[in-house]
Chain A
Amino acid sequence: MSETLVAIENLTVRFGNRPVVDRVNLSLHRGDIITIIGPNGAGKTTLIKAILGIQAITSGHIMRSKGLVTGYVPQHLSLEQTLPLTVKRFMLLSGQSLAECESALERTGVSHLLNASVHHLSGGEQQRLLLARALVRKPDLLVLDEPAQGVDINGQAALYDLIRQLRDQLNCGVIMISHDLHLVMAATDKVICLNQHVCCSGHPADVSHDPAFIETFGRPVAESLAVYHHHHNHSHDLHGDVVGSDNSRQAPVREHSHEGCQHEHH
């Protein structure tokens, strides 16, 4: 197994009395691409903010590898119109050299915009700029919050492709939030379906058949993702481990039993 970058144990974040992230366990290794999916208000952003270290946690542990450098790609760069900013200046604010900045922009395909105003970028260009801004710090871990928001469908596929390529080139770990389920399924190694707690997790093709996934997203969504049907033919022991499964290698690993959990049906 490659180096563990982040290990999360029993992470809980409460806002007031409401658990927003509830007893989540997760580990992320160098080279992994993990995508977090889940309905609105499922605690996805809170979870990645906790991983980034900018969200106070209520209980549990987050262990980060020593000297971990994180690159963060926020949802938007909602820049005040009153703040004049060029792509070049924004990149240089990372504290890296101009050559490093240019090479990062090159990697994400926006080096021609070096002298453009950040205010004049399209949604896709802005995401690529934010990605370059994260890359220039040479991160071990790349954290992306809905990287494809505001990007058209062709651009989205290209963006997820780019993220995979960057993972290969930089040998970093990637964790991202996404709503684009079809693209997620194609571009990720592991999917975590979050609804405060981890409903299910595993390889994308399997998660889409998981009853917990279907309960969370509704049958139409799940069926649109499912190419073939498969039945849950495993059960869990007390620790949530899969027992008595005849295809356990491919089966999604259920984090815990769902007795007593409430899910909304859509």
Chain B
Amino acid sequence: MNIIDSVLNDFFWRALIGGLGVALVAGPLGCFVVWRRMAYFGDTLAHSALLGIALSFLINVPLNLGVIITSVVLAIALMSFSRNKTLATDTLLGILAHSALAIGLVALSFMPEVRVDLTGLLFGDLLAMTRNDLLWIYGGTALILTLLVVLWRGLLMSTIHEELARVEGVQVERLRLLLMLMFALVIAVAMKMVGVLLITALLIIPAATARRLASTPEQMATLAILFGFLAVGGGLSLSWHMDTPAGPSVVVTAFVTFLVVYGAAGIFSGRSSA
């Protein structure tokens, strides 16, 4: 107990433990973002998190809860809008992503009594992670991992071929909604770590790096988790030794890993696709 206590009392260890927890779910969820081409969608949800924070102050609910609720509402709105094909999905996402971000910033400016660390929200404040944050992260992580394991086959089938999945009795629509809810949750818990502007990077880069080395979806998800761990560990070390901002350092480490893996794989195989 004493050891755990002293570990949790150290801000660096708290950051590391929190970061690893987020990487654990960002890996497999990131794979779905890559497979389903939802990068822009993830960005939109992430940007809406700022609006969620403003609303949480307004109606006085915990920040994480406000962010989750805003993301969920936006995700459902997006799903219903995209059925109506007047606007292309990327246009719609572009409108909502930046409007949500701008409305969030404007709303916060109307509340001068609320002192928020805007840089921390936008780019993350990994080193300021509290014990309460860790609780949120590991609660969210446990929930998402359980859902992913239980729903894995259905999620994968509906990603591979939606109609084939439906013929085989997979509840495609329900799974899509659950996947959105998982994104909303991971964004709410990862926001503290890398900030709303960099969350998508944490989802996509480890998954994309893993793609180069994997030959099954499960391998890719596992490797994405490992590359996520590497990014968090490397980024925090960089931040510790060079005094760089922690969130961006994590993303930079992930990016360097991506370049190294693709470069090395290119040299060894001489081919461009696995």
Contact = CB atoms under 8 A, between A and B. Distances in A.
Nearest to B208: A82
Given A52-B167, A54-B166, A80-B37, A86 B215 contact: yes
Contacts of A143: 167
B146 interface: no
Interface string B5-47: 0000000000000000000000000000011110000000000
A19 B166 CA distance: 24
A84 interface: yes
A222 to B, nearest CB: 33
A81 B273 contact: yes
Q: For B166, B168, B217, B273, which residue has the most chain A Cβ atoms within 10 angstroms?
A: B168
Given A72-B167, A77-B161, A117 B34 contact: no
A193 to B, nearest CB: 24
Interface in A124-164: 133, 137, 143
Interface stretch (B151-159, B234-242, B261-269): B151-159
Interface in B86-138: none
A81 B272 CA distance: 12
Interface stretch (A89-97, A104-112, A213-221, A250-258): A89-97
A54 B218 CA distance: 28
Nearest to A83: B35
Contact of A95 (B153, B211, B216, B218): B153
Interface string B155-174: 01101110110111000000
A7 interface: no
Nearest to B34: A82
Nearest to A49: B163
B217 A89 contact: yes
A82 B35 contact: yes
B220 interface: yes
Contacts of B215: 84, 86, 117
Given A82-B35, A85-B216, A74 B163 contact: yes
Contacts, number: 62
A119 interface: yes
A137 B170 CA distance: 14
B219 interface: yes
Given A84-B215, A89-B216, A79 B273 contact: no
A64 B11 CA distance: 63
Contacts of A77: 160-161
B214 interface: yes
B167 A54 contact: yes
Contacts of B164: 72, 74, 133
A85 B160 contact: yes
Contacts of A54: 163, 166-167
Interface of B: 34-37, 153, 156-157, 159-161, 163-164, 166-168, 208, 211, 214-220, 273-274
10 contacts: A52-B166, A72-B167, A80-B159, A82-B211, A83-B160, A84-B216, A89-B216, A90-B160, A93-B156, A117-B215
Interface of A: 49, 52-54, 70, 72, 74, 77, 79-86, 89-90, 93-95, 117, 119, 133, 137, 143
Given A70-B167, A84-B220, A84-B274, 19 more contacts: A52-B166, A53-B167, A54-B166, A72-B163, A72-B168, A74-B163, A77-B160, A79-B160, A80-B159, A82-B211, A83-B35, A83-B217, A83-B220, A84-B211, A84-B215, A84-B216, A89-B216, A94-B168, A95-B153
